[in-house]
A and B are shown apart, each in its own frame.
Chain A
């Protein structure tokens, strides 16, 4: 997705709405998906015999750009799908494309799958793709807003999911397969490791070359005009007011109903 530090402006696209200069905007890995990737890699390190695949749908050129920044972070094998990573496409079309790519991974054992992803994207923020993907793959143990997984020796695992009021729901699942839509998790961003980068790049370039185009849009959806909120406020900038007076103003303001 486009780097959130950029100014994003909607324009009328061909078929679906789009972003101004969308192809020029620098791309980053969707932040919550990034946390999911780091958590997956961390878990794989602890559970021998595990392997992390990163299945990603995006314009080929953008995927390549994103790989440049994340390939040095953790070990994974890329499965690339060439298609739009827009906030205006429909999860009902994205999920089948991802499912097809997952099922095509040679030797994949669906019964031992932990399907990690961001619980919501930074583009549409729907929280729909992972659930639909799980349904397509027949996985009905699903968790959303996950901040922690702890795997037990018997293969069962405990999950902490975000719920209302700053709390976590604590669940235990008997074992794989399961879908985990990650929130922030507990890990910081891994430091760059050039060796990991080199190992990853051996599979990244061929994966990008192999990337199959996916027809992903939003059939049956009719968008009205996409608008930017009127966000500009007339900011009153208060300088040189003593702290005491500011405090009184703030108290008066917060006391007003």
Chain B
């Protein structure tokens, strides 16, 4: 028997994001599969009422909250204080949170305060005979294992895309608001806001159906012996415009862009996919001008369908890493794709 706390921060508008609802879905399933294990909800943020009401029917026996202007900002000291208090008040043995950047910043630190244990980037929680086991990856998506722990509380942060999001009727709930006293030590850090690329340079789209990955080949000398950075840039941006895909890059390409070369100014390290980059989740991925080396491809672990365009029939993709490898010139193929899509869109709009 466990006491399960689902805990998360609320969004600026007082709601819960999809990732949080997915983690709640996991928490609800876990509670249901462990008879006699109550589910408690803990929320913190500037305002939490709307969020609590929206999940009123998730089966929780208590709704705990920490609320106030200081919790608007994602700041370690205040978020950790709120999370710690929610965990303590719930007497949870199992704490389930979404692995959002905000929760990920504090959850391990709080596990230490509680003399508990943390596992992050959890992909699945399974139960059998009152035992809880989690699955996570090791060595950057190279291998995975199930594991259990004897220590409690056990805090778990759950990756996005691993569970369907909770859905339920809204209703007013009674929230037990926990009083929290903050000192100046909690407020040494101030969040000024966010820095985002301008709208037309916003190339990372986590909800896109397609990940479009570009490799260093886009900047290499082509069959005419020349490089074509301007054309590459136009083709890539054109593809993103037509398909609404999210843009990924190989390390070689983003490193070049970072060094201020005359190529692909819209690429940054945030686009990098792989060992030292992101491991995004999209249903499909199309790789172009990228060799498909292992440290790159580990970033594709959660891309279901994979196709690649490369001039080299012996590139990494050919060796069982892609479903389809088109041995072709990506400049030509992407130009054609863009032209065909533009034509299609203009007939639809006409």
Question: A residues near B, CB below 8 A?
Answer: 2, 4-5, 7-10, 17, 19, 31-32, 87-88, 90-92, 95, 122-129, 131-132, 134-136, 140-145, 147, 158, 160-175, 183-184, 186, 188, 220-229, 231-241, 243-244, 246-251, 253-254
Q: Which of B138, B194, B196, B319 contacts A123 (CB 8 A)?
A: B138
Q: Give chain A residues whose Cβ lies under 8 Å from the Cβ of B87.
A: none
Complex contact A135–B333 (CB within 8 A): no
Q: Assuming A167-B196, A188-B255, is B118 touching A128 (CB within 8 A)?
A: yes
Q: Assuming A126-B118, A236-B324, is B112 touching A136 (CB within 8 A)?
A: yes
Expressed in whole angstroms, the Cα–Cα distance for A31 and B194 within the complex equals 26
The residues in B between 18 and 72 inclusive whose CB is less than 8 angstroms from any CB of A are: none
Complex contact A228–B143 (CB within 8 A): yes
Q: Assuming A126-B119, A132-B108, A246-B309, is B196 touching A166 (CB within 8 A)?
A: yes
Counting chain B CB atoms within 10 Å of each CB, which of A143, A231, A248 scores highest?
A231
Q: Give 28 A-B contacts (CB < 8 Å), ordered by A residue.
A: A5-B294, A8-B143, A10-B145, A87-B138, A88-B138, A92-B117, A126-B118, A127-B120, A144-B105, A158-B192, A161-B101, A165-B206, A166-B196, A166-B203, A169-B101, A169-B191, A169-B194, A171-B192, A173-B189, A186-B258, A222-B148, A224-B146, A244-B336, A246-B328, A247-B333, A247-B336, A250-B337, A254-B210
CB-based nearest B residue for A184: B269
Interface string of B104-136 (1 = CB under 8 A from A): 111111011100011111000000000001000
Complex contact B272–A184 (CB within 8 A): yes
Expressed in whole angstroms, the Cα–Cα distance for A188 and B104 within the complex equals 27
CB-based nearest A residue for B102: A163
Cβ of A132 to closest chain B Cβ, rounded Å: 5
Complex contact A167–B195 (CB within 8 A): yes
Counting chain B CB atoms within 10 Å of each CB, which of A7, A131, A186, A223 scores highest?
A131
Expressed in whole angstroms, the Cα–Cα distance for A218 and B112 within the complex equals 15
Complex contact A142–B109 (CB within 8 A): yes
Which of B75-83, B89-97, B226-234 is found at the contact surface with chain A? B75-83
Question: B residues near A, CB below 8 A?
Answer: 74-77, 80, 100-102, 104-109, 111-113, 117-121, 133, 137-151, 185-186, 188-197, 202-206, 209-210, 243, 245, 255, 258-259, 268-272, 275-277, 284, 286, 293-295, 298, 301, 305-307, 309, 313, 317-329, 332-333, 335-337, 339-341, 344
Q: Give chain A residues whose Cβ lies under 8 Å from the Cβ of B205.
A: 165
Complex contact B138–A224 (CB within 8 A): no
Cβ of A209 to closest chain B Cβ, rounded Å: 30
Cβ of A143 to closest chain B Cβ, rounded Å: 7
Q: Give chain A residues whose Cβ lies under 8 Å from the Cβ of B80.
A: 140
Cβ of A214 to closest chain B Cβ, rounded Å: 18
Cβ of A64 to closest chain B Cβ, rounded Å: 22
Expressed in whole angstroms, the Cα–Cα distance for A238 and B309 within the complex equals 10
Complex contact B104–A135 (CB within 8 A): no
Q: Assuming A8-B139, A140-B76, A254-B286, is B325 touching A235 (CB within 8 A)?
A: yes
Complex contact A237–B328 (CB within 8 A): no
Majority secondary structure of chain A interface residues (helix, strand, loop or mixed): mixed
Q: Assuming A88-B138, A228-B142, A239-B327, is B275 touching A31 (CB within 8 A)?
A: yes
Complex contact B192–A232 (CB within 8 A): no
Q: Give chain A residues whose Cβ lies under 8 Å from the Cβ of B75.
A: 171
Expressed in whole angstroms, the Cα–Cα distance for A128 and B296 within the complex equals 24
CB-based nearest A residue for B144: A227
CB-based nearest B residue for A122: B140
Q: Give chain B residues whose Cβ lies under 8 Å from the Cβ of A224.
A: 133, 145-147
Expressed in whole angstroms, the Cα–Cα distance for A65 and B317 within the complex equals 32
Complex contact B194–A237 (CB within 8 A): no
CB-based nearest A residue for B160: A164
Expressed in whole angstroms, the Cα–Cα distance for A165 and B326 within the complex equals 30
Expressed in whole angstroms, the Cα–Cα distance for A234 and B143 within the complex equals 20
- 5 tightest CB-CB pairs across the interface, nearest first? A166-B204, A247-B336, A128-B108, A131-B109, A224-B146
Complex contact B140–A10 (CB within 8 A): no
Complex contact B140–A237 (CB within 8 A): no
Counting chain A CB atoms within 10 Å of each CB, which of B140, B151, B344 scores highest?
B140
Cβ of B212 to closest chain A Cβ, rounded Å: 9
Given pairs A140-B76, A222-B148, A246-B333, 20 additional interface contacts (CB within 8 A) = A7-B294, A92-B111, A126-B120, A128-B111, A128-B120, A142-B105, A144-B105, A165-B205, A171-B192, A184-B269, A188-B258, A220-B150, A224-B146, A225-B145, A226-B145, A233-B321, A234-B323, A247-B333, A247-B340, A251-B344
Q: Give chain A residues whose Cβ lies under 8 Å from the Cβ of B121.
A: 125-127
Q: Assuming A122-B139, A126-B121, A220-B117, is B188 touching A174 (CB within 8 A)?
A: yes
